[in-house]
Every structure is written in structure tokens, then in C-alpha cells.
Structure 1
Amino acid sequence: MTQGNNLTLRPIHTGTLRKNIFVGYGIGLVVISYFILSARTPVPTAWGTFWMIQPLVITPLAGAAGGAYYYFTRHFLYQDGWKKTTGMVLSVIGFIIAIWMGIVLGLHGTMWN
């Protein structure tokens, strides 16, 4: 009796991965730009006049991580029935959590104390 190896490695398509990362980066940049441009009186404590640098770096990077998460969970989208719905919900919730954490980490100490 021989054991079969059912493990298969899925290839990483770097073009699609880059596209998802750049889309996530762009969404993060747009979201944090909206928050920064709508700030009337920011509270820059330790950053001084360059308080915008931290949110403009951290949040798009978190969006890029969310885009990568979406890429790695997208194989659920090619399934049938409830697996497809679960995969879509998990990927969108994961991306939203990544953007939310990026906003919190980016604005901590700059606009929020």
C-alpha cells in the first residue's frame, strides 16, 4: 500500500500579486489622503511640521498588505456555492481590517493622542 501525495503547490502569479498590492496601496493612499486633507486642526506632537509623513507611509503599506491577503484568498472565488461566498466575505473583511489597522497605526501620535 502506498500513500499518495495530494499536496499541490499553487504557483504565485507575480503580475496578479503586484496588481492586487498596487490596488490596495492606492486605496489606502486615497483613504488616508481624505482624512489628512479634511483635518482642520491636527495635533502634531512629536512630528512637528512633518506629521503627515507617518500616515502617508503606514496606511498605504497596510493597504498593500490587504491586497496581498486578497490575492492569497482569491482561490476561494473559483469554488462553488458557499465556499465562494465565504471566500469573498473573508477577503473583503480582511482587506477592511488591514486598512483600518493602517489608519489607526498611521494616525496614532499625529492626529490622535
Structure 2
Amino acid sequence: MEANYDILVQRQTNLIAKRMMVGAATALILISALLITVKNADPAWGRLWFLRPLIVVPLAGAMGGLFYHLMEGLRKRGGWNTIIANLISVLVYVFILWVGTILGLDGTLWD
């Protein structure tokens, strides 16, 4: 019986990790696309100014992926609950990504 429990816990852990990685990868792609457009960075920002957004924004994206996972209970109910859960998940992900972008770019591009 304990072996089945361990397998279920491992599957759940893998699913959480997968959803967090998808959220982080999406955020990394978006912030990278924004940072590539910067041609002449302000010297006052420092030489490695871009590392902060490349770390903070994907972490925020991972938290958005975690929120998506936490909405699974509502999504499993079916019908309108699935639509509402997916809509809430997208809105929360966008909000978390926006806040992460503000925190990551604070003092540089977001001034």
C-alpha cells in the first residue's frame, strides 16, 4: 500500500514540476524577447543589469505555473468550472508575470 502512495506522490511532484517549468520557460522567452530589443543600455545600470530580470521573471512564471496546478481541483469538476478555472489561471499568470517583470526591471527599463 505504501508503494502505491509513493508512486502517486512522485507523479504529483512531477506534474507540479512540469507545470512550473512551463510557466518559467514561457516567462523566460517573453523577458528575453524584451531584453534583446535593448540596444544601448544605460551605463548607470551596471554591466550585468540584465541578469536580475532573467532570474526574477522566470521565478514569477514558475509561481504562475504553480497556481495553475493548484486550480486542478476546480478544473476536474468539469463544465463551467473548467472554463472558470482556466480563465482565472490565465489572468493570475498574467498578473504574476506583470509583477515579476516590474520587480525584475525595477531601476533599469522600468524606471
- The TM-score normalised by the length of structure 2 is 0.83
Identify the match of residue 94 of structure 2 among 85, 96, 100: 96
User: Which 5+ residue runs of structure 2 have no aligned equivalent?
Assistant: 1-7
CA positional deviation for 1:102: 1.1
SS in 2 for 1:62: helix
SS in 1 for 2:107: coil
CA positional deviation for 1:34: 0.4
CA positional deviation for 1:42: 2.8
CA positional deviation for 1:61: 0.3
CA positional deviation for 1:81: 2.3
> 1:17 aligns to what?
16
RMSD of aligned alpha carbons? 1.6
CA positional deviation for 1:85: 1.4
- The TM-score normalised by the length of structure 1 is 0.82
Question: Is 1:42 aligned to 2:36, yes or no?
Answer: no
1:6-47 deviation per Cα after TM superposition (whole angstroms, max 9, x unaligned): xxxxx86101000001111101110110010011233353x4
Aligned amino acid, residue 41 of structure 1: N
Matching of residues 51-70 of structure 1 within 5 Å: 51-70=49-68
Aligned amino acid, residue 86 of structure 2: M
Aligned amino acid, residue 28 of structure 1: A
Name the one with the larger helix percent.
Answer: 2
User: Which 5+ residue runs of structure 1 have no aligned equivalent?
Assistant: 1-10
Aligned amino acid, residue 52 of structure 1: F
Q: Does the 8 A contact of 1:44 with 1:111 survive in 2? A: no
> 1:31 aligns to what?
30
CA positional deviation for 1:66: 0.5
Aligned amino acid, residue 98 of structure 2: W
